[in-house]
Structures are given as C-alpha cells and as structure tokens.
Amino acid sequence: MEDEALIARARRGDLAAASELLRRHEKAAYSAALRLVGRRTEAEDIAQEALVRAYTHLSELDDDSTFGAWLRRIAVNLSLNALRRRGRIQFESLDTSPASFDAVDQFEPAPEERAINASEVTGMDALFERLPLEQRVAVVLSDVYDYDIVDVATLSRCTLSAAKMRIVRGRATLRELLRDQAEPKALLFHETL
C-alpha cells in the first residue's frame, strides 16, 4: 500500500495504517537525528518524538506524497533544538509546513567540489561525528538532505558566506578523513600483489 493510502486511512483513525506508515519511515527519522546529534540514544528519542509529532499533526500535511521529507524535516528541527539545548550552537528551526519545501536560490557546488553524495553517506556516520559540529551540521543539511544554502544559513543563524565556508571546510575535512581511511587499505592491497 502506498504512503498516500496509509495517510488517508490514518486520518480516518485506522491505527494499523498509522503504525505501518510510521514504521516505514522510522529509520529515516532516526538516521536524520543521528547524523546531527551523534548520540544513538538521543537520536532514538528524537526519532520517536518526530514520529509522534508527525502522527499528531498529520492533518496539517497538504501533500501526502511529501510525508517522508516532512518527517525528516521534523527530525532535523528536533535535532537542532537538542543541539541548542546543549548550548554548543544556536540554530533556528525551519518551517515544517509542506509549502516551505520549495528551494530558493539553491547553492549547488561544481561536481568536483562535492565531497559526498547521498549514496556514499550510509557508511560515513562515524566520519561525520569527527567533523566540528558547525561543519557537520552544514554538510549534513546540504549534502545529505539537499537543503539549499539559504536554509543552511538560516538554520545556523549565519551569513550565506559563513554557511558556504562551513560546507567547503567540512567537505575538505571529510576528504582528508576518507583519504586517511583509504591509504592503509591501499598499502595493504599493494603489499599483497
């Protein structure tokens, strides 16, 4: 059954449909939180809260086909709130209404400048945790979740140029970390030849 059908049934009070819908998307909510907060237990709590909020505010979702993106945005906002509570960095939450998903003036780096893409991200969570927090947030929002540079700057309460610099520096750090990881394997491979 498609998400749209599950949403329609969940809105009519079908708890089994709501449960299935949330089950389908719980890993995405958890992953979004973990990449930002870097703590598994905290990410689990944030993902759970995001699922509860999505369910209780399901009537506010205008375009049912955007449920996954909407839930992810809720998880990201809750993660940023958790980081703010830690007192390490200040962020501003983005509007979670589906209408706010439209990008404006999207900043798209040249392909050779892009350090990572979504298909490479799954095995990189440990590398993300090694980035300075401001860089991690900027790179995850930009490269993993495809937020435009305006949203990255808004969330980080910084200028566009500062957001771009955080992304550039974060990507450079990731390249270094990836290179450091690859070198021992390359040496081992070379020695076995």
Asked if the structure places residue 159 within a domain, the reply is: yes
Structure-model confidence comparison of residues 117 and 141, the more confident one: 141
pLDDT band at 22 (very low <50, low <70, confident <90, very high): very high
- What is the domain range of residue 133? 103-193
Asked if the structure places residue 97 within a domain, the reply is: no
Task: List pLDDT tens digits, range 90-137.
Answer: 445 455 444 443 333 333 444 433 444 443 444 577 788 888 889 998
Angle between helices 67-86 and 3-11 (to 10 degrees): 70
Distance CA 168, CA 193 (A): 37
- How many Cβ atoms are within 10 Å of 51's Cβ, its own excluded? 21
Q: Is 146 found in the same domain as 73?
A: no
Q: Is 187 found in the same domain as 123?
A: yes
Residue type, 120: E
Structure-token pair, residue 139? 């790179």
Which residue carries 């944030």 as its tokens?
Answer: 46
What's this model's pTM, rounded to 2 decimal places? 0.66
Report H helices in 12-146: 15-37, 40-56, 67-86, 118-121, 125-130, 133-139
Burial of 12 (0-12, 13-18, 19+ CB in 10 A): exposed
The domain that holds 191 is classified in CATH as 1.10.10.10
Asked if the structure places residue 22 within a domain, the reply is: yes
Q: Is 74 found in the same domain as 112?
A: no
Distance CA 43, CA 53 (A): 15
pLDDT of residue 191: 53
pLDDT of residue 179: 85
Q: Does residue 10 carry a pLDDT above 90?
A: yes
Q: How many domains does the chain have?
A: 2
Asked if the structure places residue 96 within a domain, the reply is: no
Lowest mean pLDDT among 60-64, 70-74, 88-92, 155-159: 88-92
Q: Is 178 found in the same domain as 129?
A: yes
Distance CA 4, CA 102 (A): 20
pLDDT band at 145 (very low <50, low <70, confident <90, very high): confident
pLDDT > 70 in the chain, percent: 75
Q: Which of 90, 121, 139 is the last residue of a domain?
A: 90
Q: Is 113 found in the same domain as 86?
A: no
| Average of per-residue pLDDT across 44-61 | 94
Structure-model confidence comparison of residues 48 and 108, the more confident one: 48
Which residue carries 């958890």 as its tokens?
Answer: 30
- How many Cβ atoms are within 10 Å of 61's Cβ, its own excluded? 18
Asked if the structure places residue 10 within a domain, the reply is: yes
Query: Which secondary structure element, helix H or strand E, spans residue 8, and what is its range?
Result: helix 3-11
Asked if the structure places residue 118 within a domain, the reply is: yes
